[in-house]
Amino acid sequence: MSEKQPEPIILPRGQHSISRQQVDEDTLKVLYRLHRNGQLAYLVGGSVRDLLLGRQPKDFDVGTDATPAQMRRLFRNCFLVGKRFRLAHIRFKDNKVIEVATFRRHPSEEELPDDPDEHFHFVQNVFGTPREDAYRRDFTINALFYNIADFSVIDHVGGLEDLHAKRIRMIGDPLVRFEEDPVRMLRALEFAARLDFSIDPAILDAIQKKKELIATAAPARIREEIMELYRHKVAGPVLKQCRELDMLPHLLAGYPGTDESIELICKIDQRTASGVLIEESFAIAALYLRLFMDSCPPSPQVHITEALHKANEIIIPHCRYFSIAQGIRHQARELLVGCFRLSRGRGMRGERRFLQHPFTPQAMELFRLWAEVRPDLAPQVKEWQRALQSPPAPKQPPRRGPRRRRKRKPTTKIG
């Protein structure tokens, strides 16, 4: 960290909008106990950003100069997690966890592994100061601190200015930071969409140069980040921007991301915004519905077994790469095949059984959203909605004819 970097900006309580009443009470307990025991205790990361923007944070993270061993002594409900860098999880009732991290810094040259290829992914217990910790973070708006000791907001990296300008800006050189962690490219697009912020041109330029690196990120992290896009109702605009930046094929292994697919995902964002929780199987089916319909056009001549085969062919590579459980994969396949059945229209063999299938209502919901993208399917939606709303006719038992009496064999008298 250069000595020429500016002094931090410290806003006293009267110059910012954060109130302790907005902070989770268990988080406050953790902050106060650390402070009473002579430790620095800061609210850190996205929670400070959201509070300054007038948003309610999803969760609250704590930063401190206390080591993991010290935190274990201070909190009886403390459990240490992590292999390379130890984090403290302070557990409260109802499985609630407050995550507390010791301030970190970038390792020095002497502390790095001998193999240069491992430098960017090297993480270990290298404790640092709050200022060093701020410069280690990704974006300026995520590096703000709230100090429980005097209720001030501390800014080491220009995050307050970027919040005011509604701008996403990287801490340090974006080219280097994306090499350290390619997932930051996706996170930059996500934050811009979630907060309605602009993106610093240096970040966009670096994404153009480093977009192929996103394919080297851990699949588990990409899977979680994609689901975060859905949960935050920004999957449509972010995937659209990924396509415009030519990053989408690297993100999802050749995924084409057509206009109709992106439009369908935007419809799902609106559905999530209305309060409907997104399930991963629904998200996967939405991603691949257009591709599935193109490869298996719905018609009476296409047998259902062929549709099942095509659905598996399309989603199995995705599910294997991201280690998605078989149950979720099965649900996604059933949603695709359900949309295939719905697109063919009524009167096909097996309709009664399909109407009673447990996945049919979800398939109908996906098909309804798809029909908003493809208005020519609207008549089928109305027909199927009427069929689902009317109770199925009771199944008639097979008719049997009159019971035949068995003829007795004639008996032969003896004598």
Where in the sequence numbering do the catalytic residues fall?
59, 61, 138
Nearest 5 degrees, angle CA 298-CA 301-CA 306? 70
Distances (CA, A) of 247 to 76, 226, 240, 275: 46, 14, 10, 30
Q: Where are the alpha helices (DSSP H) in 345-402?
A: 351-355, 360-373, 378-389
What's phi and psi for 88, nearest 5 deg?
-100, 125
Distance CA 46, CA 27 (A): 14
CA 400 distance to own-chain centroid:
57
In angstroms, the CA 372 to CA 9 distance is 50
The single residue listed with the structure tokens 């109709």 is 260
- CA pair distance 226, 230, nearest whole angstrom: 7
| β-bridge mates for residue 44, sequence order | 61, 145
The closest of 26, 32, 7, 21 to 154, measured between CA atoms, is 7
Amino acid 337 reads V
